[in-house]
């Protein structure tokens, strides 16, 4: 019979029966397994196998395939001792071999690890994970083009959520899953040939698995783990370490994919409301990422806040609290390139919260929503937003903080410019008032700690004038906030706390005041704005609704101006102002209450007591102290200690005071003139220069004043009227009023204000053509003053007419 060629299967069967005919690598692999698996790996034979693999690296892939075959057979037969030996051998070969053929061996290794992770036995899962972690720490010399770790990400994430009945075993499985995820990240994060571990499909599994274990800190503590692990580390501690490592490896383009799953996890498990866990997560994030990437996290949080605008107040407050903590941790670049957008988002949330509180609904149409809006929760949210605005402002340099102050000032609502607030039914006026107060509180936060060397740039016209206009409102809370903002900006040496209480200080040296010489910039500022400040301080003292806090704040403001911005001329004017306040309380032309008159007297006395010691003129000090001593004996209710206390003892009426209980302007002029002060200016009583702003600001709402504030949304309109025809006014120039009337009527919210301005200005022009006369005839005249004059407060009158060159025209009408 012809000879038959043996098949490969028959050859393998024969070689398997005869050990001498088997390949050498198989014999070396078989020799590492002892007869009794409890004896462990045969080390001598393992060394031979390792030497063979290093000598013949082309056989390494066959060694791995054979070990994988044996391991699969042992797993199926439940011979777990031999499984452990096989994995130990694989680990040692991985550590020893770094040749180009390692890739094929790794495929066999990963196949065996996968087999163990798919097993039902927790010990096998943990064994496979430990081997994978060892492999992850190996730096391979050659790249891999086809290796995939998708299965391992999914399986390790599943192990992180293990719900095994035995708590000790459950803890081990979860910790193994965390270690496995850490290994996957280490193995793939820097390998450009691998699938991007930062892709959402992977991050959506890794990050929630880590957060789940971080959240379960209270359920699985370190005591349970310490009995079974070499390192006394809880799953939460291990998770935090792994999470920090993950975030620390995140590049600029990967921050969003790493943070988005955190936001989703906190949403899905309602963890914003508790705040504690959410704050903990983002503290880890902010401390772990590179500092130059901080603003990316801030922007994601702001975007998430916007997307939750109609969620409950507790959820929004939780996000805002996280923003507050994140801003405090981040560096000065935390706001990033879009500074105003950050504050715009926070201010928008503030306004929405006020709308929700007033309407009781998240629906802008006013329909009752399914969610119940709780007022106290909205108030807590508003306070949190205000604190967060301050926290962000503290990270900014001075020049950017000034921009933010201007931005917020431009957002303060004016009826007619912000119609959404006035259309809210009966709550329109209250909504406007609430927003005004909230934004002024935000300005207080922004100006906290504000330091500037140039007051002209810190308080430009565009900020100071609208701010002072709020000091003329009837609402006492608004006026107090305005005064507080002025204190924060002017105080550059932290002197404010030393004047927190208005009192007669016998020796101001105990206060240890910090006083610097007035700089050239400060002198320019006072030359430009001093009369504005004096006038508003004077008008603030005439308010019936002013309380102790208002007078204490006014006293502090006068004291700070004296120390921060005073030169000889300013000192003289401040003394004149204090004497004018005394006359205001004495003549009582404004029909002030007895309390307010006594309070103004006390304010004047406290300030003159301070300024006389700052000027260090002995005769001036002597006169002031004599008057104070006389008041202490005869009229103690005219001093701060007698007025600003609980249940002050005040007379029923306050008759006109005379004699030694009043400060005498002639006496002060005389004693200061002897020390070189300007006696002519001192002898002239202070008369506040009233303006159109003051007359038009009476004044239930700031909207009744002339305002050219335009929201950021109106930038296009702003650009359009800036390009309109401008009119330059000179005393002898014929002026066409038609363009002026068109601009004013179009861009000012109230036509009667427009006509008032036009009539007030054209009274001094003498040349009109027929067309101008027609324009004027179409405008209603403003209501005349009852007396036709303006009272100065001293029984004198003051003409309303001023020369043309001193007129103040709106910026949009003058170039």
> What pLDDT does residue 179 have?
94
* Average pLDDT value for residue range 243-259: 92
Tokens of 560: 């700070």
Average pLDDT, the chain: 78
Reported as a pLDDT band with limits 50, 70 and 90, residue 792 is: very low
> What pLDDT does residue 752 have?
42
Taken in order 283, 287, 291, 296, the sign of the CA dihedral is negative
User: Which position has the higher pLDDT, 207 or 85?
Assistant: 207
> What pLDDT does residue 138 have?
78
Reported as a pLDDT band with limits 50, 70 and 90, residue 194 is: low
Report whether pLDDT(8) > 60: no
**CA–CA separation, 144 vs 115, rounded Å?**
21
User: Which position has the higher pLDDT, 265 or 120?
Assistant: 265
3-class SS of residue 791: strand
* Average pLDDT value for residue range 64-81: 85
CB neighbourhood size of 49 (10 A)? 23
Q: What separation, in Å, do the N-terminal and C-terminal C-alpha atoms of the chain show?
A: 120
Q: Which residues contact 39 (CB under 8 A, 6 or more apart)?
A: none
Report whether pLDDT(767) > 80: no
Report whether pLDDT(77) > 60: yes
Reported as a pLDDT band with limits 50, 70 and 90, residue 51 is: confident
Least confident of 97-111, 650-664, 754-768: 754-768
**CA–CA separation, 526 vs 564, rounded Å?**
11
User: Which position has the higher pLDDT, 704 or 646?
Assistant: 646
Answering whether pTM is above 0.75, one says no
pLDDT tens digits, residue range 352-391?
Answer: 999 888 888 776 554 544 567 888 899 999 999 999 999 8
Which residues on adjacent β-strands are paired with residue 798? 790
Report whether pLDDT(756) > 70: no
Report whether pLDDT(147) > 60: yes
Tokens of 218: 């209270």
Report whether pLDDT(493) > 70: yes
**CA–CA separation, 518 vs 526, rounded Å?**
10
> What pLDDT does residue 232 have?
64
Which residues on adjacent β-strands are paired with residue 791? 797
CA within 13 Å, CB half, 8: 0
pLDDT tens digits, residue range 460-488?
Answer: 999 999 999 888 888 999 999 999 999 99
Tokens of 651: 């007379």
pLDDT tens digits, residue range 534-546?
Answer: 999 999 999 999 9
Burial of 412 (0-12, 13-18, 19+ CB in 10 A): buried
Report whether pLDDT(144) > 50: yes
> What pLDDT does residue 719 have?
43
User: Which position has the higher pLDDT, 743 or 508?
Assistant: 508
Reported as a pLDDT band with limits 50, 70 and 90, residue 331 is: low
**CA–CA separation, 440 vs 447, rounded Å?**
10
> What pLDDT does residue 220 have?
43
> What pLDDT does residue 806 have?
52
Report whether pLDDT(731) > 50: no
> What pLDDT does residue 550 have?
94
* Average pLDDT value for residue range 504-520: 88
Q: Residue 360: which region, alpha, beta or left (left: phi > 0; alpha: psi -120 to 50)?
A: left
CB neighbourhood size of 656 (10 A)? 8
**CA–CA separation, 362 vs 309, rounded Å?**
9
> What pLDDT does residue 616 have?
86
DSSP string for 410-441:
HHS--TTT-HHHHTSGGGHHHHHHHHHHHHHH
Highest mean pLDDT among 99-113, 190-204, 312-326, 655-669: 312-326
> What pLDDT does residue 212 have?
94
* Average pLDDT value for residue range 78-87: 86
3-class SS of residue 790: strand
User: Which position has the higher pLDDT, 1 or 663?
Assistant: 663
**CA–CA separation, 543 vs 5, rounded Å?**
118
Q: Which residue has the tokens 């050659």?
A: 142
**CA–CA separation, 110 vs 108, rounded Å?**
6
> What pLDDT does residue 750 have?
43
pLDDT tens digits, residue range 338-348?
Answer: 678 889 999 99
Whether the CB-CB separation of 198 and 178 falls below 8 Å is answered with: no
CA within 13 Å, CB half, 692: 20
**CA–CA separation, 169 vs 159, rounded Å?**
11
Report whether pLDDT(716) > 50: no
Q: Which of 197, 312, 217 is nearest to 261 (CA)?
A: 197
> What pLDDT does residue 137 have?
83
Whether the CB-CB separation of 98 and 140 falls below 8 Å is answered with: yes
Q: Which of 242, 236, 213 is nearest to 223 (CA)?
A: 236
């Amino acid at each position: 019979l012809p000879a038959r060629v043996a098949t490969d299967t028959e050859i393998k069967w024969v070689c398997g029966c005869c050990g001498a005919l088997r390949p050498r690598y198989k014999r070396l692999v078989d020799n590492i397994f002892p007869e009794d698996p409890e004896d462990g790996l045969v080390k001598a034979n393992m060394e031979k196998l390792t030497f063979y693999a290093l000598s013949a690296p082309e056989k390494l892939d066959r060694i791995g395939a054979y070990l994988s075959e044996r391991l699969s057979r042992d797993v199926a037969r439940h011979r777990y001792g031999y499984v452990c030996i096989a994995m130990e051998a694989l680990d040692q070969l991985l550590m020893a071999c770094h040749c180009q053929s390692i890739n094929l061996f790794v495929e066999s290794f990963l196949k065996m690890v996968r087999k163990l992770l798919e097993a039902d036995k927790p010990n096998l899962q943990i064994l496979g994970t430990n081997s994978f972690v060892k492999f992850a720490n190996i730096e391979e010399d050659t790249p891999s083009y086809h290796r995939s770790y998708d299965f391992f990400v999914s399986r390790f994430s599943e192990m992180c959520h293990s719900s095994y009945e035995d708590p000790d075993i459950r803890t081990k499985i979860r910790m193994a899953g965390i270690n496995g995820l850490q290994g996957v990240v280490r193995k793939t994060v820097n390998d450009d040939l691998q699938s991007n571990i930062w892709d959402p499909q992977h991050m959506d599994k890794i990050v929630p698995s880590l957060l789940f274990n971080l959240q379960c800190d209270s359920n699985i503590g370190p005591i349970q783990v310490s009995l079974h692990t070499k390192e006394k580390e809880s799953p939460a501690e291990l998770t935090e370490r792994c999470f920090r490592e993950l975030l620390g490896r995140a590049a600029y383009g990967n921050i969003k994919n790493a943070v988005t799953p955190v936001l989703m996890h906190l949403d899905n498990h309602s963890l914003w409301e508790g705040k504690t866990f959410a704050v903990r997560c983002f503290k880890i994030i902010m401390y772990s990422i590179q500092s130059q990437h901080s603003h990316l996290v801030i922007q994601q949080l702001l975007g998430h806040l916007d997307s939750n605008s109609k969620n409950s107040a507790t959820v929004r407050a939780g996000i805002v609290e996280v923003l507050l903590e994140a801003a405090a941790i981040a560096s000065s670049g935390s706001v990033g390139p879009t500074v105003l957008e950050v504050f715009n988002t926070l201010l928008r949330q503030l306004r929405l919260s006020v709308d929700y509180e007033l309407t009781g609904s998240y629906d802008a149409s006013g329909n009752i929503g399914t969610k119940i809006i709780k007022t106290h929760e909205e108030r807590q949210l508003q306070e949190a937003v205000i604190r967060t605005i301050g926290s962000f402002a503290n990270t900014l340099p001075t020049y950017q903080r000034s921009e933010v102050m201007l931005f917020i000032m431009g957002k303060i609502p004016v009826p007619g410019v912000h119609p959404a607030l006035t259309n809210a039914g009966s709550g329109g006026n209250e909504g406007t008032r609430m927003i005004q107060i909230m934004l002024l509180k935000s300005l207080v936060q922004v100006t906290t700690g504000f330091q500037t060397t140039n007051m002209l740039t810190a308080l430009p016209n565009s900020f100071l004038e609208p701010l002072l206009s709020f000091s003329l409102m009837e609402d006492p809370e608004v006026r107090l906030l305005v005064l507080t903002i002025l204190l924060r900006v002017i105080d550059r040496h932290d002197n404010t706390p030393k004047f927190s209480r208005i009192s007669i200080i016998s020796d101001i040296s105990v206060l240890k005041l910090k006083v610097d010489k007035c700089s050239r910039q400060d002198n320019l500022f006072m030359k430009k704005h001093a009369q504005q400040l004096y006038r508003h301080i004077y008008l603030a003292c005439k308010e019936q609704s002013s309380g102790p806090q208002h007078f204490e704040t006014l006293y502090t403001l006068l004291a700070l101006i004296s120390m921060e911005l005073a030169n000889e001329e300013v000192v003289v004017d401040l003394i004149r102002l204090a004497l004018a306040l005394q006359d205001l309380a004495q003549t009582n032309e404004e029909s002030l209450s007895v309390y307010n008159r006594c309070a103004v007297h006390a304010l004047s006395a406290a300030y003159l007591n301070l300024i006389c010691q700052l000027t260090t003129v002995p005769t001036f000090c002597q006169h002031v102290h004599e008057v104070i001593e006389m008041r202490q004996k005869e009229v103690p209710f005219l001093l701060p200690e007698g007025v600003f206390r609980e249940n002050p003892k005040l007379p029923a009426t306050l008759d006109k005071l005379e004699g030694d209980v009043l400060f005498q302007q002639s006496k002060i002029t005389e004693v200061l003139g002897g020390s070189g002060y300007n006696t002519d200016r001192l002898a002239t009583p202070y008369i506040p220069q009233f303006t159109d702003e003051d007359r038009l600001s009476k004044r239930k709402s700031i909207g009744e004043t002339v305002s050219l504030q335009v929201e950021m949304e109106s930038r296009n309109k702003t650009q359009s009227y800036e390009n309109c025809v401008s009119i330059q006014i000179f005393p002898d120039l014929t002026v066409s009023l038609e363009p002026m009337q068109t601009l004013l009527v179009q861009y000012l919210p109230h036509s009667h204000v427009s006509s008032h301005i036009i009539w007030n200005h054209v009274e001094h022009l003498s040349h009109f053509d027929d067309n101008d006369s027609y324009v004027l005839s179409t405008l209603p005249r403003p209501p005349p003053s009852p007396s036709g004059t303006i009272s100065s407060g001293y029984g004198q009158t003051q003409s309303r007419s001023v020369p043309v060159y001193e007129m103040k025209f709106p910026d949009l009408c003058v170039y």
